[in-house]
């Protein structure tokens, strides 16, 4: 289908999303009030924009400020069909289910946040209630929650990176830019200013800036400095929505990228594909994303030349963000 023809289904998709949003706005559809304050982290794009590292950062920030958060996610691509599934209980240390059941992102979040409950469920109200009942949390971070209008939330944080273009399938937007009117905070990553097309819809939103920094490489049992491969050839492997951002992160560490093996988002490479990556690398290092790392077999991860890149979120206006978070959580 040519790009011009894609405008037709894109217009239909736009209309459906506008009608859905309007139905919630006028009360024809009702959002459920959760038993605990909910902070949503989302975006407008079909692909990724750094939601997972930002969710991890936000949970760590809330813990540092004395709160007891949980993370709730849909569990995209996971096989779970229960109302809710506990991926990490905040006590055991490691995730207690397989990533094929929970989905890649919730598993990674649980692995990175051993003291924070992580729960998945398609209807987010069920895991939110479970977080409150089972773990007594005082805040829930809703991963990829901006479009989940059935659940009321106290704070909506929307990540933007400047690639927001047109409605799917003509572009990559899953909601029109006008949906930004619902956002309490616009978190810009990689750009300084809100794109002009989106500006009319963000007049009531706080505008903050964040960056995703790569300073640590993970081996199977240890960590090394991000500069470990500075000036050296590496092969990259990724199965994420934004492989070009991953490549840029590796290059910022000084890596000389001789090849980048790209799989579709959420793909789980089989053994033959992993052998292909190793053959392409030869004596060079192989670097993958941390999200890809959680779903790969031990025989591959234990190779001496295989590493994963860890992202760290930095928010420029962190004190202002803390103020809004505190106001949201203590208001109820």
Annotated binding site for ATP: 45-52
Give, in order, the Cα–Cα distances in Å from 281 to each of 233, 236, 245, 276. Answer: 9, 9, 21, 9
Q: Checking DSSP bridges between strand 223-225 and strand 38-42, what pairing results, if any?
A: unpaired
Q: Select from 214, 209, 213, 105 the least CA-distant residue to 162.
A: 209
Instruction: List beta partners, residue 327.
Output: none
DSSP letter, residue 227: G
300, 272 contact by CB (below 8 A): no
In this structure, the dihedral spanned by the alpha carbons of residues 167, 169, 175 and 177, taken in order and rounded to 10 degrees, is -20
CA distance 330 to 169: 41
Strand partners, 140: 38, 70
CA-based end-to-end distance of the chain: 50
Tokens of 99: 């990533």
Cα angle vertex 84, ends 83, 90, to 5°?
170
The DSSP code for 115 is T
Enumerate the known binding-site residues: 45-52
CB 187 within 8 A of CB 162: no
């Amino acid at each position: 289908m040519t790009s011009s023809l894609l405008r037709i289904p894109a217009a239909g998709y736009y209309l459906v999303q506008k009608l859905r949003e309007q139905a919630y706005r006028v009360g024809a559809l009702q959002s459920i009030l959760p038993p605990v304050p909910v902070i949503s982290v989302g975006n407008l794009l079909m692909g990724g924009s750094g939601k997972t590292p930002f969710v991890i950062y936000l949970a760590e920030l809330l813990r540092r400020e004395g709160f007891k958060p949980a993370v709730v996610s849909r569990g995209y691509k996971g096989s779970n069909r229960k109302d809710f599934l506990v991926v990490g209980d905040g006590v055991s240390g490691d995730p207690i289910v397989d990533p094929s059941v929970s989905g890649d992102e919730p598993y990674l979040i649980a692995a990175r946040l051993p003291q924070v409950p992580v729960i998945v469920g398609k209807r987010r109200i069920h895991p939110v209630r479970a977080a409150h009942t089972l773990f007594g949390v005082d805040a829930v971070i809703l991963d990829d929650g901006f479009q989940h209008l059935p659940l009321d939330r106290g704070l909506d944080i929307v990540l933007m990176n400047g690639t927001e273009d047109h409605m799917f399938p003509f572009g990559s937007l899953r909601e029109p830019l006008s949906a930004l009117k619902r956002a309490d905070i616009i978190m810009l990553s990689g750009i300084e200013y809100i794109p002009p097309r989106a500006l009319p819809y963000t007049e009531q939103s706080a505008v903050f800036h964040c960056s995703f920094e790569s300073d640590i490489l993970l081996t199977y049992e240890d960590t090394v400095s991000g500069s470990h491969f500075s000036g050296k050839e590496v092969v990259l492997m990724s199965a994420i929505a934004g492989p070009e951002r991953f490549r840029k992160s590796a290059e910022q560490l000084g890596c000389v990228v001789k090849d980048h093996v790209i799989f579709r988002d959420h793909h789980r490479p089989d053994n033959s594909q992993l052998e292909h990556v190793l053959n392409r690398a030869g004596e060079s290092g192989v670097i993958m994303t941390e999200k890809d790392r959680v779903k790969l077999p031990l025989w591959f991860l234990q190779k001496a030349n295989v590493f994963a890149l860890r992202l760290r979120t930095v928010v420029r206006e962190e004190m202002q963000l803390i103020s809004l978070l505190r106001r949201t959580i203590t208001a109820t």
